């Protein structure tokens, strides 16, 4: 009986396994006639997109030229073509089942862990990762959680055998959680107001002390190797970005002062709920924002109930480079909804193509991968997809093709398998019910 149970369990795992990664592109591909949303704010109607050796060879107006012969021709007339969407500050591939501790690799014990590299724990065969691709999410920044300095993130593409194959940019930045200047009382069901955080100065001084020690180590002869301090290298020369989680106006202001004091070249605010109140300071110091999940309620009773939907437009209108992130409850499962967050921004004042930049070119720029990803341009990676409708609209977005580095990837997941399995069953029950009535 035990042997039979084991065989059934193994069969179940195999039947719902991750789709086999697509092989390297060997044949030239031509996508004809679609409306290409370039990701830089522009649109190319009736486009011709040529893909050769994993890269975009040309993106041109199909009415002006006769296309060269290609091995594979895809008819995209009436459809829409987009750059692959990017999910920053994500824990995709780090946790599979929240209730199973052995499958949770998103955090480590301790307060200061810059040397913890999330990419080592990344599971390229995660079923959750697979479920994001049918909505056009093809790249992600795999990010650790926990502690004051959580660790080092890396950027991956979402169709690979292992983390080595998946990595797009390894060790792109260090993630830190800035202390809050206030503390909330009570709990979510019975909030009890707020009070000043009496340990705020102490906590910020601890951060500064760690940075001082890391700088002293960098300037020493390094006779004794210190791995955490080694990991801090790159913040002063700009080869790594410092990503800091903060939402309050005071906190963000203090972080910018901290940036100046420590000569940090690249700083990104994650969350940034009140960043719209200090836009001049952000722009003056070249600070970008990965805006927190916008499908949320306001923080204060006296704020516009629709403020979370409008913050992206307020910031971009002031010249701030803004991307959208999705950390929080059910964040891995919700990754597939990032395109619709951008759609909400468009519904609340942003131009549709500018809203698209929030999850394509802007995010690519913030993550330092814009030389290869984020837009449909000649010479860049052919990481893109074709949708029958508007990719920022939950109702009409339906992918027909998706490519990562020119490789046509599968759009199946365990969810699409279950959908196909039970679709006929429930359609049949609906027909029987109608007959009885």
Q: What is the full per-residue pLDDT of the chain (437 aa) written as tens digits?
A: 444 443 444 344 444 556 789 999 999 999 999 999 999 999 999 999 999 999 999 999 988 888 889 999 999 999 999 999 999 999 999 999 888 888 889 999 999 999 999 999 999 999 999 999 999 999 999 999 999 999 999 999 999 999 999 999 999 999 999 999 988 777 766 776 788 999 999 999 999 999 999 999 999 987 789 999 999 999 999 999 999 999 999 999 999 999 999 999 999 999 999 999 999 999 999 999 999 999 999 988 889 999 999 999 999 999 999 999 999 989 999 999 999 999 999 999 999 999 999 999 999 999 999 999 999 999 999 999 999 999 999 999 999 999 999 999 999 988 888 888 888 877 766 555 555 55
Q: Is residue 327 part of a domain?
A: yes
Pair (90, 205) in one structural domain: yes
d(CA 435, CA 437): 5
Q: In this structure, are 214 and 327 located in the same domain?
A: yes
Number of structural domains the chain divides into: 2
| 115 DSSP assignment | T
Assess if residue 257 is contained within a domain.
Answer: yes
Where residue 7 sits, what CATH number does that domain have? 2.30.40
> Domain check: are 364 and 426 in the same one?
no
The string of DSSP codes covering 62-80 is TTTSPPPP-SEEEE-TT-E
Of 50, 49, 58, 4, which is closest to residue 27 (Cα–Cα)? 50
230 and 108 within one domain: yes
Task: Judge if 324 and 336 occupy the same domain.
Answer: yes
| Cβ-proximal residues to 73 (8 Å cutoff; 6+ apart), any chain | 29, 30, 32
Full residue range of the structural domain in which residue 54 is found: 2-82+413-436
Of the three residues 321, 342, 372, the one that is the final residue of a domain is 372
Does residue 385 belong to any structural domain of this protein?
Answer: no
Residue 322 resides in a domain = yes
157, 383 contact by CB (below 8 A) = yes
CATH number of 312's domain: 3.20.20.140
Residue 176, beta-bridge partner list: 149, 244
């Amino acid at each position: 009986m035990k042997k039979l149970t084991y065989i059934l369990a193994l069969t179940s795992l195999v039947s719902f396994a991750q789709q086999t990664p697509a092989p390297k592109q060997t044949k030239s591909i031509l996508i004809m006639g679609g409306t290409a949303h370039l990701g830089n704010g522009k649109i190319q109607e009736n486009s011709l997109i040529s893909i050769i050796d994993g890269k975009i060879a040309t993106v041109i107006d199909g009415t002006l030229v006769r296309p060269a012969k290609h091995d594979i021709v895809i008819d995209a007339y009436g459809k829409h073509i987009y750059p692959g969407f990017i999910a920053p500050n994500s824990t995709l591939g780090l946790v599979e089942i929240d209730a199973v501790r052995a499958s949770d690799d998103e955090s480590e014990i301790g307060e200061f862990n810059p040397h913890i590299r999330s990419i080592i724990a990344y599971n390229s065969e995660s079923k959750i990762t697979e479920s994001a691709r049918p909505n056009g999410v093809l790249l992600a920044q795999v990010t650790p959680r926990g502690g004051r300095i959580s660790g080092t993130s890396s950027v991956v593409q979402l169709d690979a055998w292992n983390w080595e194959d998946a990595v797009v940019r390894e060790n792109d930045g260090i993630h830190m959680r800035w202390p809050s200047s206030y503390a909330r009382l009570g709990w979510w069901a019975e909030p009890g107001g707020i009070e000043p955080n009496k340990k705020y100065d102490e906590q910020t001084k601890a951060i500064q002390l760690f940075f001082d020690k890391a700088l002293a180590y960098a300037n020493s002869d390094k006779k004794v190797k210190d791995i955490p301090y080694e990991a801090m290298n790159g913040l002063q020369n700009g080869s790594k970005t410092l990503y800091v989680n903060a939402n309050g106006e005071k906190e963000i202001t203090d972080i910018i002062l901290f940036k100046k004091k420590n000569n940090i070249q690249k700083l990104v605010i994650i969350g940034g709920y009140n960043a719209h109140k200090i836009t001049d300071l952000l722009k003056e110091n070249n600070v970008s924002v990965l805006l927190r999940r916008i499908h949320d309620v306001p923080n204060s009773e006296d704020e516009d109930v629709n403020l979370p939907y409008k913050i992206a437009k307020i910031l971009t209108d002031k010249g701030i480079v803004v991307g959208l992130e999705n950390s929080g409850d059910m964040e891995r499962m919700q990754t597939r909804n990032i395109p619709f967050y951008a759609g909400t921004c468009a519904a609340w004042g942003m131009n549709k193509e500018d809203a698209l930049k929030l999850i394509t070119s802007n995010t690519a720029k913030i993550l330092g991968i814009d030389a290869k990803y984020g837009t449909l341009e000649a010479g860049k990676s052919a990481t893109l997809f074709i949708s029958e409708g508007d990719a920022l609209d939950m109702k009409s977005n339906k992918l027909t093709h998706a490519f990562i580095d020119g490789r046509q990837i599968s759009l199946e997941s365990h969810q699409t398998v279950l959908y196909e399995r039970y679709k006929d069953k429930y359609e049949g029950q609906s027909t029987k019910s109608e007959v009885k009535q």
